Amino acid sequence: MRRLRSVKIVATLGPASNDYDTIRALHEAGADVFRLNMSHGSHDEIRERHQIIRQVEKDLDSPIAILADLQGPKLRVGVFANDAEELVEGAVFRLDLDPKPGDVSRVCLPHPEIFAALEPGARLLVNDGKIRLVVQDCGQDFANCSVEVGGTISNRKGVNVPDVVLPLAALSAKDRDDLEFVCQLGVDWLALSFVQRAKDVFEARALADGRASILSKIEKPAAVEAFDDILDASDGIMVARGDLGVELPVSAVPPIQKRLVRKCRGAAKPVIVATQMLESMIESPMPTRAEVSDVATAIYEGTDAIMLSAESAAGSYPIEAVQTMNKVAIEVEADPTYSQIIASSRSAKGTSVADGIVAAAREIAEKTEIKAICCFTQSGTTALLTARERPAVPILALTPATGTARRLCLTWGCHCVMTPELERFKGAVVNAARAARSGGFAAEADQIVVTAGVPFNVPGTTNILRIAPCDERLIYNTDPG
């Protein structure tokens, strides 16, 4: 199913989008990746959604990536005797390990690891930052705080601790169970929540054991500080602006987003910009102008994918939300300014043969009438390197590996095509020409760039670039091998 844009769309599934007809309509409207949020839904519900996605994939003969988003450690206060209390600015409020119901002066915070890391002056943000507490003094089982910003605090509200690196594993017991479950199902990507350091990624990778690619969600200040190490350890990144905007000043989020997207592009690793992109479409069939601008900004930055959360999972207009993103993306990418921005922000510095091949393919495509770059890839690396170049023509990623085709659905510009395993380069060129013609990327009179590696079906051997006609008769007449 050909897209008329390069950026990819991730749609979260939920109560508003859990049947075959809706999921198929979402894919036809433009969703390239479906996100299964492990914070919501039982394993039976997740399994059913996974099966529906794979059925849609089969029925439409269109590879689809599935992203399982692990919940991560959730920090919450306990309960109150009156269910809720009103905290006023300047008051003293105590957090402790006492499980008794709380009142206006204290509440249980059942996380001893938080107390072990706290220091005087540290902030605690409750209920998405609506309440702000500052630690005055603390010990192994308590923290006496002053209320900096008051408000209503109620049962089991979430707590953010932005000023310290918490001695928490990124994977809770629930996450470990969920990880094994979705890996057995056969998801393509695992998203790790509340990553703080590269060590968190290594732990998840060991548990996944090659069954899924690892995507780290950047939503804590510690992750921003350790980003280079986290990026090296990860297969992809999600800029999760929800918690990031709680733990950091909201004014800091846009430059962080721009910086992280550019680093991911340079590393040839896919990056998703997520959270509140079309938030008003949960209840309205039309987005706000500011939301459209937010989506457009992420596309102009060169992000691989933009994501819908509650808009497609629980909103009243899930299909319309995908259609809106699709229309915005097509409009932005048709803007001459878009190609200028993308070209000026290209930062690849690789020195391998593969780096040279893909850079040459992009430059040739830009200076001639080439209609597409067709790259044969076993593991996906060649396609990722090609996408890093952000060429002005479509990328056809041809692979015999179903898992590779699915994973690349998250990567900018990649149109994934399944192909049989090949032994000779002439066969690869013929397959590329057929894929370009059948997909509507080129006509018989056109030319394409073909990149591949010899020997075939060996990862990391990209070493050939061929300018090829789409007319098979010319291929057979001119190619020696």
Closest of 45, 40, 37 to residue 70, by C-alpha: 37
Question: CA 453 → CA 365, 386, 395, 423, 435, distances in Å?
Answer: 19, 14, 16, 11, 18
CA 459 vs CA 132, 361, 375, 455: distances in Å: 51, 19, 13, 9
User: Which residues are the active-site residues?
Assistant: 35, 76, 217, 275
**Distance between CA atoms of 216 and 240, rounded to whole angstroms?**
9
pLDDT score for 128: 86
pLDDT at 3: 96
Is the preceding peptide bond at 455 cis, omega within 30 degrees of 0?
Answer: yes
pLDDT number for residue 348: 62
pLDDT tens sequence for the chain (481 residues):
799 999 999 999 999 999 999 999 999 999 999 999 999 989 999 999 999 999 999 999 999 999 999 999 889 999 999 999 999 999 999 999 999 999 999 999 999 989 999 999 999 999 989 999 999 999 999 999 999 999 999 999 999 999 888 888 879 999 999 999 999 999 999 999 999 999 999 999 999 999 999 999 999 999 999 999 999 999 999 999 988 999 899 999 999 999 999 999 999 999 999 999 999 999 999 999 999 999 999 999 999 999 999 999 999 999 999 999 999 999 999 999 999 999 998 876 677 888 999 999 999 999 999 999 999 999 999 999 999 999 999 999 999 999 999 999 999 999 999 999 887 888 889 999 999 999 999 999 999 999 988 777 677 678 889 999 999 888 877 655 5
Q: How many CB atoms lie within 10 A of CB 384?
A: 25
Given this model, what pLDDT does residue 461 score? 73
Q: Are strands 395-399 and 373-376 parallel, antiparallel or unpaired?
A: parallel
What type of residue is 92?
Answer: V
Distance CA 381, CA 384 (A): 5
CA–CA dist 267, 28 (Å, integer): 31
Q: What is the pLDDT of residue 421?
A: 86
Q: Measured in Å, how far apart are the chain's first and last C-alpha atoms?
A: 31
Q: Give residue 73's pLDDT.
A: 86
φ, ψ of residue 166 to 5 degrees: the values are -80, 140
The answer to whether the pTM exceeds 0.85 is yes
Strands 123-126 and 213-218: unpaired
**Could you tell me if 148 and 106 are in contact, meaning their C-beta atoms sit under 8 angstroms apart?**
no
Rounded-to-integer distance, Cα 270 and Cα 397, Å: 15
